[in-house]
Amino acid sequence: MAFNDLFLRAARREATESTPVWMMRQAGRYMPEYRAIREKHGFLEMCRTPELAVEVTLQPVDLIGVDAAILFSDILVSFPGMGLDLEFAKGEGPVIHNPIRSVADVEKLRVPDPYEATGYVMDAIKILRGELEHKVPLIGFAGAPFTLASYAIEGQGTRDYEHCKALMWGEPVAWDMLMNKFADTVIAYLSAQIDAGAQCVQVFDSWVGYVAPRDYERSVLPYTKRVIDEVTAHGNANVEGGVPVIHFANGATSMIDLVQQAGGDIVGVDWRLDMAKAVELIDPRFGIQGNIDPVALFAPDDALEEMVVGILEAFGTRPGHIFNLGHGIHKTSDPEKARTLIRLVHEHSARIRSGA
């Protein structure tokens, strides 16, 4: 089997004969093969056991046919090494038992050595590169400083961000220290992933869509930009051709002008922005990742096909499109429909890009 480099070429904004496609959360509960493993192991246990992380990372490559693997892990795995007491409570998502609520808490936070804190991630990446040698590229990832800070401060997933924003507005010096500690942690962590073999990295700013543009520009963007700049520099210095960086700021399409100022190679776009408008608003020096509604996998095939074609045609034939869902795949999605999506993207993009 020949290595499928379609994803890597698109991520580097080189011409491709068709459009690569992967799905956020593609290694997940919608697959019976994943659930079979998850039933026997805790979520963090799976993240921390390279053999298990490797196995579920490979599942969508082998069974669904995506053009890239993304490491199975979680954006919060660095937390224990920083001194944050993380637990995945059953059915409740992540809980941090000692959330950051004061300047003293910020001062106590550590920037961990990525190998000491999360060596199992680098071990999994090394195994995966061997397993994927004749298959597809491997994407590494981390959370962006704001999303990590919001979890650390709120102590759990939220849609409110009262503590987080109160610190941002009320204690700007502590906020700067906090965001720099998260930025330093992410830079070291993604650099280690690159050294271990990640061929592309994605920075997930999952919750930044709850921040107003003025606050994004002042209190979030500078730290994300530093992460992307330094990780890009690390890739350029250590990997021939560099390591592309994808920046996905979820829910932030109405400030996409600011989001792209963070840099990187590919701007991830959720499904709230029409692809035609994304092409208009995003500087052509960037590629674009996205952006079909994840719920499209619950549509009849003909409606799904129409949505796929609409997005592909809106992007057009220039290089740099990575097809993806606008957010993670839902856990009740049908794997067969996911396979249909992959097929539709490949067939129609080949047709469109050949000018047929």
Shortest reach from residue 293's CB to a copy of itself, in Å: 5
Radius of gyration over alpha carbons of the chain, in Å? 19
Q: Is 166 a residue that touches a copy of itself (CB under 8 A)? A: yes
Q: By the 8 A CB rule, do 115 and 81 touch?
A: no
74 is catalytic: yes
Single residue of 118, 253, 324, 349 touching a copy of itself by CB under 8 A: 253
Helices (H), the chain: 6-11, 32-38, 43-48, 50-63, 79-82, 103-108, 114-131, 145-154, 162-170, 172-196, 213-219, 221-238, 256-259, 275-281, 301-315, 335-353
Q: Which stretch binds a copy of itself (CB under 8 A): 66-74, 85-93, 209-217, 236-244?
A: 209-217
Shortest reach from residue 161's CB to a copy of itself, in Å: 6
38 is catalytic: yes
- Bridge partners of 70, per DSSP, are 139
Q: At 266, which helix (H) or strand (E)? A: strand 266-268
Residue 53: partners with Cβ closer than 8 Å, 6 or more residues away: 46, 47, 71, 72, 73, 120, 121, 124
Q: Which stretch binds a copy of itself (CB under 8 A): 48-56, 220-228, 296-304, 343-351?
A: 296-304
Give me the 302-331 binding string for a copy of itself, x by CB under 8 A, dash otherwise.
-x---x--x---------------x---x-
Q: Which stretch binds a copy of itself (CB under 8 A): 52-60, 90-98, 146-154, 299-307?
A: 299-307
Q: Is 89 a residue that touches a copy of itself (CB under 8 A)? A: no
C-alpha pair distances (Å), 90 with each of 42, 43, 44, 128: 9, 9, 11, 28
Q: Is 272 a residue that touches a copy of itself (CB under 8 A)? A: yes
25 is catalytic: yes
C-alpha pair distances (Å), 203 with each of 129, 191, 282, 304: 20, 12, 18, 28
DSSP for residue 293: -
Q: Is 271 a residue that touches a copy of itself (CB under 8 A)? A: yes
Q: Is 215 a residue that touches a copy of itself (CB under 8 A)? A: yes
The catalytically annotated residue of 151, 189, 216, 223 is: 151
Shortest reach from residue 326's CB to a copy of itself, in Å: 8
Annotated catalytic residues are: 25, 29, 38, 74, 151
Binding site for a copy of itself (CB under 8 A): 160-162, 165-166, 169-170, 209, 212-215, 251-256, 271-274, 277, 293, 295-296, 298-300, 303, 307, 310, 326, 330, 332
